[in-house]
Amino acid sequence: MTALEGVKVICVGQFYFAPYCTMLMARLGADVIKVEAPQGDPYRRLPTVDDDGYPIQFRFLNSGKRTIRLDLTKPDGADILRDLVRGADVLVQNLSPGAMERFGLGYDQLKDVNPRLIMATGTGFGSFGPYAGESAMDLTIQARSAIMSTTGFEDGAPVRTGPSMVDFMAGTHILAGVLAALYQRTHTGRGQHVEVALQDAVVPSLTSNIAGLLSKKTATFERTGNRHGGMSVTPYNAYPAMDGWVTVLCPTDKHWDRLRGVMNEPAADDPRFATMPGRCEHMDEVDAVVGDWTRTRSKDEIVAELKDLKIPCAPVVTLPELLEDPHIRARGVLRTVEDEQGSFMTLGSPLFLSDSPMVEPTRSGGLGEHTDQVLTEELGLSADDIAKLRDAGAI
């Protein structure tokens, strides 16, 4: 059986955060119903589409879910969600702060409908604190959380991380909270409210940077480029190769000694480089020595030599290279799925359980594609009932 077989999940969310959490739950076997407003998830309207004209981001995050179209601003629409909640185990939502409460669908209202419900809420800053209630997106959280101040090079402007790290880190955090609440419910029989703030989820990633600040007592370096966030490990950088770039790091003196041996560069024997503190004090000189060696070799040659010596290293892979990477294909985190309509690419799952198979993703539904099915199967509504709701604009 799958890990979450029999678990019913409602996703009232858009963009990446809640959809990613519930996508992982779908891959673990949960039955996920995605609730969309009448105009649909904004990611349905992005210009990045596949050959069939389907929005790629939406497909990646929502394949394997049933989709219903519901207007929660209308009383009948809110009532439908309450009725769905009666039979649900989990509701994950990341609407703007206070929206669910305005619809009469906050946790305090829904726990009376279903005391076993686990409701998970994701917001930028949580329900308390000076910034509570402020709206947020990945970019603004990166700005507010010092992620951008520590990304990029010292003499350049602040830079956001390339991927949307905030949304996806927060999505995995909220999944952890939901799974913990499901486990606790097996003992108590009660649900609870799970809250994750996007800012809270990313601050721990700054551990090395904060350590560097606390040890130096001043922010002498915030943007460290490709160097260690705390400037306390050297070499630790991206170095030029004949055909691109390669990353090399030596976390201990033993790693450095092995690198010195393979480089066979007299400059690497400088006694100032013998210890980690000495190397960190002379980062530019150390990087120059390593760079002079790497630029005479290809990425593959460098990686092959250093892997044999167990020195951490990796080629800097481009996006086109990533899509063809044999390890990525073998692991299935990016999956090309074949069905009666052809093939499409979507996300697999980074979660592997030895006794719980992953559920293969299916195509994400069209806007409101499963509305009639869900209302019939989950709530027992008749065709006439559904027609009346559609006439009222609730669905």
Instruction: Please tell me the predicted confidence (pLDDT) of residue 219.
Output: 57
Contact 44, 367 (CB under 8 A): yes
Q: What percent of the chain has pLDDT over 70?
A: 99
Of the listed ranges 33-37, 41-45, 89-93, 193-197, the least confidently predicted one is 41-45
Task: Give residue 122's pLDDT.
Answer: 95
- pLDDT for position 296: 96
The predicted structure's pLDDT at residue 213: 82
C-alpha gyration radius of the chain: 25
Give how far Cα 214 sits from Cα of 7, 201, 210, 309, Å.
Answer: 45, 21, 6, 34
pLDDT at 66: 97
For domain 8-203+325-391, which CATH number applies: 3.40.630.30, 3.40.50.300, 3.40.50.1820, 3.40.50.10540? 3.40.50.10540
Residue 367 has pLDDT above 60, yes or no: yes
CA 164, CA 142: separation in Å to the nearest integer? 9
Burial of 11 (0-12, 13-18, 19+ CB in 10 A): buried
Torsion angles phi and psi, residue 66, rounded to 5: -90, 140
In tens, the pLDDT along 257-301 reads 999 999 999 999 999 999 999 999 999 999 999 999 999 999 999
Predicted confidence at residue 214, as pLDDT, reads 84
Structure tokens at 237: 């950088």
> What is the overall mean pLDDT for the chain?
94
What's the mean pLDDT in 187-192? 98
- AA letter at 93: Q
Does residue 342 surpass a pLDDT of 90?
no
Query: From CA 370, how far away is CA 166, in angstroms rounded?
Result: 30
* Amino acid letter for position 188: T
Pairing mode, strands 193-197 and 118-123: parallel
Query: What DSSP string describes 224-269?
Result: -TTS-TTS-SSSEEEEEETTEEEEEE--SHHHHHHHHHHHT-GGGG
Tell me the C-alpha to C-alpha distance, in Å, between residue 140 and each of 76, 148, 260, 367. Answer: 35, 10, 43, 29
CB 28 within 8 A of CB 109: no
Confidence of residue 130 (pLDDT cuts 50, 70, 90): very high
CA dist 339 and 362 (Å) reads: 8
pLDDT (tens digit, 9 = 90+) per residue, 72-83? 999 999 999 999
The structural architecture, per CATH, of the domain 226-316 is 2-Layer Sandwich (3.30)
Name the active-site residue from 167, 257, 269, 391: 167
pLDDT at 216 over 80: no
Q: Of the candidates 249, 248, 243, 250, which has an alpha carbon nearest to the alpha carbon of residue 318?
A: 243
Name the phi and psi angles at 260, rounded to 5: -55, -40
Instruction: State the average pLDDT over residues 11-33.
Output: 95
pLDDT digits (tens, 9 = 90+) for 81-105: 999 999 999 999 999 999 999 999 9
- Residue 218 has a pLDDT of 61
Give domain limits for the chain.
8-203+325-391, 226-316
Separation between Cα atoms, residue 196 and residue 366, nearest integer Å: 29
> Does 325 qualify as catalytic in the annotation?
no
Assign residue 259 a region (left: φ > 0; alpha: ψ between -120 and 50; beta: otherwise): alpha
Q: Measured in Å, how far apart are the chain's first and last C-alpha atoms?
A: 34
